[in-house]
Structures are given as C-alpha cells and as structure tokens.
C-alpha cells in the first residue's frame, strides 16, 4: 500500500511540475506575442513624417474630365490632424466641384507589418470608398495604387503620387488608366499651401 501512495505522490508531483512548466511556457508565448503586437503597432518614423502635414491648408485643384481639354480649376481648404495616438492622419477638405459644394475626408496610415502606406477617401459626391496602397520612393514621395469604377469611364486603375515639397507646400496627383487598357491620364492635381 505504501508503494502505491509513493507512486501516486510521484505521479501527482510530475503532473504539477508539468502544469507549472506549461503555464510558464504559455505565459512566455503570450509575452512574446504581446511584444510583437506592440512593436507592430507603435508609431515610427513614417508616422512622425506624416505628422508634419498637420495644420490648415489652402488648396488649388485642377481636374481633367478629358485629357486633351483644359482642366477645371477650383479652390478650397483642408485640415489635417493625427489621431489614434499618432498612428493615422485624418484629412478633411471643403471646396467646390462642378458648381456644387464639395466635402471629403481621407485617412492615411503606415502599416509597420506590410511596410506600406494605406489611404481611404470618401466624399459627398460619390458612394465609393476609395482604398489605395503603396510605398514611399523616398521620404517625401508616396505612390499608391487602387481601383475605381467611374460612372462615365467604367472600371479604372488608379495611381496617386503625394509629393512633399517643403513644410509649407505639397502636391497630390491622381492618374487613371481605363479598363480596356490605353494610356494613363492625369485626372487631378491639388496644390496645398499652408495656412497654419
């Protein structure tokens, strides 16, 4: 009988040791996972660079309905601010387009995991949520690609280029290519001049 109690005691001790070891291993795995998530979610140099755009801006927009005709030219204003503890840049714009009051909002972020910039855009003249994704050629030029179904031109491939000229000026350009191929055409150019 004593032998049986000894075996049970050893078995219980092994189970307890194994449980403690597994709990420690799980805790270690959780700590490693949390470290990876925190590193991936921490604002970095790209986010600090985006934060330089915070402020109020005057805009001059050129829009090409047809590539071989002069663009429509309008003026407006935009305001940028960082949110989510410096992880994302929000842009809110107002102006005029085709004789109507225009209002739009964009959000841009940099994904530390994919190493890409991602932008979304919505406005009061469409029901489309535009999504663009791309990389920076250098610290002051971000190029993104996306797709869009235009009511007039059908499905299009889009390419945008944001050029930061200096602390007080940046230029946004949008290009489109039709679904059936053809040559890429410039659709829009917005020049931003800092107000404050």
Range with lowest mean pLDDT among 8-17, 55-64, 152-161, 173-182: 8-17
pLDDT band of 195, cuts 50, 70, 90: very high
pLDDT band of 16, cuts 50, 70, 90: low
Of 40-44, 86-90, 145-149, highest mean pLDDT: 86-90
Model confidence at 18: pLDDT above 80: no
Q: Residue range 81-104: average pLDDT? A: 94
Question: How is the chain classified by DSSP, letter by letter?
Answer: -HHHHHHHHHHHHHHHHHHHHHHHHHHHHHHHHHHHHHHHHS--HHHHHHHTT-EEEEEEEEE-SSTTSPPEEEEEEEEEEEETTTTEEEEEEEEEETTEEEEEEEEEEEETTTTEEEEEEEETT-S--EEEEEEEEETTEEEEEEEEEETTTEEEEEEEEEEEEETTEEEEEEEEEETT----EEEEEEEEEE--
pLDDT digits (tens, 9 = 90+) for 61-75: 999 988 788 999 999
- What percent of the chain stands above pLDDT 90? 64
- What percent of the chain stands above pLDDT 70? 85
pLDDT at 174: 96
pLDDT at 8: 47
pLDDT digits (tens, 9 = 90+) for 81-92: 999 999 999 999
Computed over every residue of the chain, the mean pLDDT equals 87
Range with lowest mean pLDDT among 32-36, 53-57, 114-118, 125-129: 32-36
What pTM did the predictor assign? 0.81
pLDDT at 179: 72
Q: Residue range 5-25: average pLDDT? A: 57
């Amino acid at each position: 009988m004593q032998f049986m109690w000894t075996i049970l005691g050893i078995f219980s001790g092994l189970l307890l040791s194994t449980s403690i070891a597994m709990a420690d291993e799980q805790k270690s795995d959780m700590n490693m996972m949390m470290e990876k998530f925190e590193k991936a979610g921490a604002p970095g140099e790209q986010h600090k660079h985006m934060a330089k755009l915070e402020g109020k801006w005057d805009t001059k927009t050129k829009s090409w309905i047809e590539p071989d005709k002069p663009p429509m030219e309008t003026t407006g204003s935009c305001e940028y601010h960082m949110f989510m503890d410096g992880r994302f840049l929000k842009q809110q714009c107002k102006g005029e387009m085709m004789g109507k009051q225009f209002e739009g909002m964009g959000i841009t972020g940099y994904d530390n995991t994919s190493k890409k910039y991602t932008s979304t855009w919505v406005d009061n003249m469409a029901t489309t949520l535009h999504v663009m994704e791309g990389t920076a050629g250098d610290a002051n030029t971000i190029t993104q690609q996306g797709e869009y179904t235009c009511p007039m031109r059908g499905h299009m491939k889009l390419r945008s280029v944001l050029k930061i000229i200096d602390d007080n000026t940046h230029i946004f350009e949008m290009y489109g290519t039709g679904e059936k191929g053809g040559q890429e055409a410039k659709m829009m150019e917005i020049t931003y001049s800092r107000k404050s």
